[in-house]
Amino acid sequence: MGTTVTEEKSLISNADMLSEINQAILNILVGGQAYSIGSRKLTRADLSQLYKMRQDLEAQAAADENQSSFLDDCYVAQWPWER
């Protein structure tokens, strides 16, 4: 029997996924989005989608590292005349 999506996801760390995405981005930047060999054509992953995936993984890694929450970038000011 094969692994489930949940099991498979847990086998790949965010760092590994980020490394693979960075490699895919580099491959596209160096070798182009698509190429052909003889009559066969290959189109690599969408570059904008890879950038989005990388941004999401980096944000998730930063959140995990900082134990951040929804209101981490929220600040409250108390003015002396409001007391």
Question: pLDDT per residue over 13-62, tens digit each?
Answer: 888 999 999 999 999 999 888 889 999 998 988 999 999 999 998 888 87
- Give residue 64's Cα distance to chain centre: 14
User: CA-CA distance, 27 to 44, in Å (whole number)?
Assistant: 9
Query: Is 68's pLDDT higher than 70?
Result: no
Is residue 48 classed as helix, strand or coil in its secondary structure?
Answer: helix
Query: Domain coordinates of the chain in residue numbers?
Result: 1-58
The secondary structure element, H or E, covering residue 42 is strand 40-43
Is residue 4 classed as helix, strand or coil in its secondary structure?
Answer: coil
CB-based burial of residue 21 (10 Å sphere; 0-12 exposed, 13-18 middle, 19+ buried)?
A: buried
